[in-house]
Chain A
Amino acid sequence: MREALEGSLAIARAVAMAKPDVVAAYPITPQTHIVENLSKLVAEGDLHTEFVSVESEFSAASVVLGAAATGARAYTATASQGVLLMSEVLFNIAGLRIPLVMTVANRAVGAPLSIWNDQSDAMAVRDAGWIHLHCASNQEAVDTTIQAFRIAEATELPVMVCMDGFVLTHTMEVIDMPGQAQVDAFLPPFAFSRALDSADPRTVGTLVDPGWFAEMRHSHHAAMGRALGVIEKVDADFAKLTGRASGGLLTVTGDPDARVGILAMGSVVGTLEAGLADFGTEAGTARLIKLRAFRPFPARALREAVAGLDTLIVIDRAISPGLGGIVGSEVSAVLQSMTAAPRVLNYALGLGGRDIPESVYPALIAAAANPLAPRFAVFDADLDKLMPEDR
């Protein structure tokens, strides 16, 4: 049913349709509305779940870990400082190969303190071993949330659903909410193969000596590789059911014949699409690559998607100080093996909630036309505000 909904409310409803046994969360802007809406659903009797209002994100992550290990379908949500406080548990969840779902309402990480959107939080835990899926719209966020449970349960890996804070979480959008019957058909009850059970005791989380650790890491890496196919299949199955796909591993839109490509994750993709529509004829067209799966990283799909490009601009919504872009560095690395790899320009954009206007599109196209364009830049930084040595 199509309804105008705030992103956070839509996510809460999508989570409720997945019928989680246990939800644990701790409030943080801009994730707060998601947990508040879930609490309301519980209070009104519309969601039957063990809702654990914990004393910290550290415990939120630990509670869902304990719950999922005991066979419960479990969900949590956080952002920014919350992701970092959870980080030790996030590695643990993934290393123990525990399937559960977490929404990250992407926000900058302090200091300096910022409550606004970028993707530094998810990037800070990119090596934790979770599946990372980035959503470009609230519709995608709703559909991806439901898909995430199936992906997690099929792969026995945790899934992080990333949606840009405020830009998506606090924005009204017309959303086609799937029906409960559709979700039930798509998502069978969770039956965890390794659930803790006193009738069949097992030991989980043991000390592993150097004779085993490398093998276990390898097996985790291999599981992530297999997850590529699962992510695509689950999205295809969802599309069969609802008529809507969420973008598999990545999607290519815009002008397929363009020599310039722009790759981005999250809501900025919508801005770029609008920029192409409004400025394309004047400034030049581009191929747009919407990267949905950041982990596992779809190297092969990416090489296919960029074939024929002269220049690929990679947008980063975070920065690794001392290196530059994170997504950009990874993209450059996987394109190395191409015989005719495009030149990669990597631009950080919209850090700490800096507005990204449509006019960024022609500016990026202009950079692609400039043979002397810097390989990395904080594209929208106003350097005049800084001391000379920092410019």
Chain B
Amino acid sequence: MVQDSTRLNGLRAKHGRPPAGPHEPQAAPSTLRQGQPRFRGLEAGHRACQGCGEALAARIVMENAGPDVMVANATGCLEVFTTPWPQSAWRVPWMHSLFENAAAIASGMEAALKARGRNTKVLAFGGDGGTYDIGFQALSGMLERHHDVLYVCYDNEAYMNTGIQRSSSTPHAASTTTSPAGKERMGKRHLKKDLLSIIAAHHIPYAASASVAYPADLARKVRYAMGIEGPTFLVVHSPCPLGWRHASALTVEVARRAVECGLFPLVELERGALTNIMPIRTPRPVVDYLELQGRFAHLFDETDTRAIEERDHLQALADHNILTYGLAGTGDDPVDTTGIAHVRRGGPLAERT
């Protein structure tokens, strides 16, 4: 991203990375941490809950976006847990303004950088509330005006920062504090908004969904988006142990099952057309995903026919995704939901990137 190599090397030195260009043999790092070949844009020590999917997703995004970026962050958990004054977990320029304007703040940053002849890449971060709901207009405007910004939505499917209220991204039948399950209601009555299709309708260069369960896939998507000049969009499925009511240790497992059952399809779109999907090697029943989470506990009362109906409904939604995106795998594929979880050095993954 940085053309000026002195400036880039300055940045790298500051962040503990080897200088750009032909590498001299390096002295062995004295600690494992120093030896990490990663850029830590979001540092450890912030105040997220244990097992927070959003914190994990943001760390992976920052590692792959690199140091020459600046971030516009919407109000929400990520903003709050990383910046309790006078502390900050960010090692890049980072700004929070409001809940609903991250995309417009990012637009302004990008316009300013362009006017001042800088190549720093602008990132905008928002939760599902800040993206699907209240910040949606500003996001649409940013995409339409073709700002060179990577917008990342950390989708934990509710307003977590204010205490787990439903958003338009909350899945059907999930219980939240404003869509609680009760005698008359089976959780959220409406469907999860198909945001990616709306984003795709803006015909932007690149839009994709990703999941914290598949860090290599997420990393590749971030890097791909970073290489594009123009608006790009990523929605990252990020379980919230507090809001979804699952064990903190199960964040990745829960996220994986969401993909494996078809409820959260991993897809890529370029200029509005579907260009890639992550095939599901063996689609799992939706109940495998639901049963790990307290927000769906009311769907497991076997004496309640409505519970069984809603489970069937969610299964039908997953089946619909598998069908419309063609997610069903065709055998052992190194980049399907099972294959991609294996660590490889070089190898088949490289062909796909």
Contact = CB atoms under 8 A, between A and B. Distances in A.
A142 interface: no
Given A64-B108, A71-B112, A201 B91 contact: yes
A56 B138 CA distance: 8
B92 A67 contact: no
B137 A96 contact: no
A55 interface: yes
Contacts of B69: 198
A200 B14 CA distance: 10
Contacts of B101: 58-59, 62, 89
B140 interface: yes
Nearest to A64: B108
B93 A202 contact: yes
B83 A206 contact: yes
Contacts of B177: none
Interface string A242-280: 000000000000000000000000000000000000000
Interface centre among A68, A70, A202, A205 (most CB of B within 10 A): A70
Interface stretch (B113-121, B234-242, B308-316): B113-121
Q: Interface size bucket, B side?
A: 35 or more
A59 B104 contact: yes
Contacts of A66: 72, 95, 97, 104-109, 111-112
A196 B94 CA distance: 8
B100 interface: yes
Given A62-B101, A63-B104, A65-B105, A55 B115 contact: no
A209 B137 CA distance: 30
Contacts of A63: 104-105, 107-108, 111
A89 B97 contact: yes
Contact of B138 (A22, A53, A62, A205): A62
Interface in B125-148: 137-138, 140-141, 144-145
Contacts of B91: 201
A59 to B, nearest CB: 4
Contacts of A111: none
B265 interface: no
B112 A199 contact: no
A50 to B, nearest CB: 4
Interface in A151-204: 196-204
Interface in A60-83: 62-72, 74
Contact of B144 (A22, A55, A202): A55
Given A21-B115, A55-B137, A204 B105 contact: no
A72 B112 contact: yes
Contacts of B111: 21-22, 24, 50, 52, 63, 66-67, 72
A54 B105 contact: no
A71 B108 CA distance: 11
Nearest to B83: A206
Contact of A55 (B10, B93, B97, B140): B140
B7 interface: yes
B217 interface: no
Contact of B114 (A50, A65, A207): A50
Interface in A111-139: none
Contacts of B88: 203, 206
B96 interface: yes
A1 interface: no
B104 A67 contact: no
Interface string A7-28: 0000000000000011010000
Interface string A281-306: 00000000000000000000000000
Nearest to A211: B85
Contacts of A71: 112, 116
A208 B138 CA distance: 25
A164 B96 CA distance: 33
B67 interface: yes
A330 interface: no
A86 to B, nearest CB: 10
B118 to A, nearest CB: 8
A49 interface: yes
Contact of A65 (B11, B80, B108): B108
Contact of A52 (B10, B120, B140, B145): B145
B150 to A, nearest CB: 14
A3 interface: no
B98 interface: yes
Contacts of B72: 66
Contacts of B268: none
Contacts of A32: none
A59 B68 contact: no
Contacts of B141: 54-56, 59
A92 B114 CA distance: 24
Nearest to B115: A21
A62 B116 contact: no
B100 A207 contact: no
Contacts of B109: 66-67, 69-70, 196
A54 B107 CA distance: 10
A53 B104 CA distance: 11
A158 B145 CA distance: 26
Contacts of B70: 70, 196, 198
Contact of B79 (A24, A49, A70, A207): A207
A289 B120 CA distance: 50
Given A55-B140, A70-B70, A198-B67, A62 B112 contact: no
Interface centre among A202, A204, A209 (most CB of B within 10 A): A204
B84 interface: yes
Contacts of B97: 62, 65-66, 89, 92, 96, 205
A200 B116 CA distance: 16
B176 to A, nearest CB: 23
A72 B115 contact: yes
16 contacts: A21-B112, A24-B108, A50-B112, A50-B114, A54-B104, A54-B145, A58-B138, A62-B108, A63-B107, A66-B105, A66-B108, A66-B112, A201-B90, A201-B94, A203-B93, A205-B97
Given A198-B120, A201-B92, 16 more contacts: A22-B108, A52-B145, A53-B145, A55-B138, A63-B107, A63-B111, A70-B108, A70-B116, A89-B98, A92-B98, A197-B93, A198-B69, A202-B94, A205-B95, A206-B85, A209-B85
Closest A-B pairs by Cβ, 3 of them: A66-B108, A62-B104, A72-B112
Interface of A: 21-22, 24, 49-50, 52-56, 58-59, 62-72, 74, 88-89, 92, 96, 196-209, 212
